[in-house]
Structure 1
């Protein structure tokens, strides 16, 4: 496989394009100069022929007047040509000398013409000098073009080489941002994108390491409790109730570990879901079905779930598994932390071409100083592995969505979870929205 150098391609194309331009310009200049000189000579011959004709017509022809014309190095004669009716020019070479000839009508009825022949060796010599100078200038220009092409190529490609060298030396243990100060402004968007990607990689690597360490710690603790409890129980003979108590504790710890292992497995499945084919769906109707599902989950706590949409339809092309992972984690937390007989509001808004989904509960609220999207971060007394919001954040990053979790600011207690689908390559508005009036489902 042949690998082409962008540096080589750039300077080769620059040399070829500029060389063709110089050569074309040189030939155009030479052709224009030659045409100008020849036009001047022809105009001079035409004026001479016109003077001869006027002298002959006015009967003022004298030897002195005639010599004014002939002494300028031209040959004048009267010739008869049957098939000619207008002025005619001809240039030719004879005995290594160059001439231009004009035939000027003198007596059209008798087919007589004034024939003037002028030697133009001096003009040809001047054109040859001009041509040689143009060739020398073209060669000099081509040499400068080659040097210019190499210099410009290196100058323009230096930012690319700088970015390439920076990226080639990076790994998960050495991630640094690209300094934009030394880059042309045209490369700033690229540097910003790379720096954002670097930040995401750093966050991902940090979370992964934290996930593995946290998983080991979270699994080690219940195992240690089970081991200690079993050892204490077996130290002496006990009543059956004590053994049952120990077994129940073991089962509870095993269930908690199963939940955690299931969450870790979900992280692995989520990475595969990132390659899921996007599906076209109506977000309004999709959320209507989901709201009904969540109402069944919240029925036990008598929690009222309302769903509002600011539009009748909003068609999108999106990966439903990733979107559902975010939605499910937010709704499960809302139901889990919302007290009995309280309510949860789901609102779908359209902002320009973006879809914004807001879930507002009446729960205990959160500690906004905590990074709840980090693995194994928990708030409140409810049980859980602490990986739900971590999964939601990973799904949002893969989906190109922005998710936030804030306390309510309307004076009531509770949490506001927001999903904003923006800059999403899978998101597109496929139909005109019928109305902006809010619809309750």
Structure 2
């Protein structure tokens, strides 16, 4: 792979970095202050930032189809995702935040023309927000074939019954649509053809939001993570995406790019934590000399820089292979980055917290919230153990076949 970005990407990255410096970082304190006034609404400063981003041509950068977005592939988008990831709310400023990105990708790739017009176009314009509902409290959802939510055909409708939780984005007042994964054919002998995905407007009768779930005590407003019950929720049959039994196929198409986005955003968080750690070590004096003179502090800074660069290069390699050979061919590299990047971010951010002392735990720095976010991604889009299980299985089979062929 080539490590030099095209002029187009370099220009976008330079403009994005300038925008972050001029508009996003100075707005962080105001954003969180306004959020206290309406936890599930959109802080006024967010809409102002979005308009500035639209005017600057920094909008929908994630979509590879130029009809909808910037026309960037995974490798080209990766450094932009890293830059946006440095501030937890920044991706939304550019209409590049999860789960909206994944939902728009699903609709762009698999949606009908009606579904695109009704839901994707308002999402592209940033007029509404969305959620993706898969995880359930009663089953181990790390194995998605376990999900129990039923999607049953009844004439011209589907009727949905089930219980979901940690549904990111659903608490937001502007969340108008969910993509719900459930079973249309629970008795199919192929466990990966039992599931389907269907569009459910959040205001549909029978959709009952029970409560917001917290992560390490954070409610992650204004998106939040909802616990929701579906009680005889009826939606038109045309809301089904692609067809019955195609839920896993859709999920696999969604998750490859999504994992690149998650990992690069985490690398952005870790890079910012490293910079904060290094600056803090220079500025604080302990036992009569700057912290940066302490050997253990220098080691933490050095190890963090190495680990961030390793994760960055591995993620870029995965993105490049996806672009050149497809998601399936890159599945082992995608598993590797999902194992490596969240753990790396947790480790680096934890070191930064330690070097900041008690202040690192509080609200004056964003490190505690950043750690919560990084720790969440060790579970989101599949827990570490699932990726290690699949990667180990694939590698064992590959090298066994290789050895037999050489014998």
TM (normalized to structure 1)?
0.22
Higher relative contact order (CA 8 A, sep 6+): 2
TM (normalized to structure 2)?
0.24
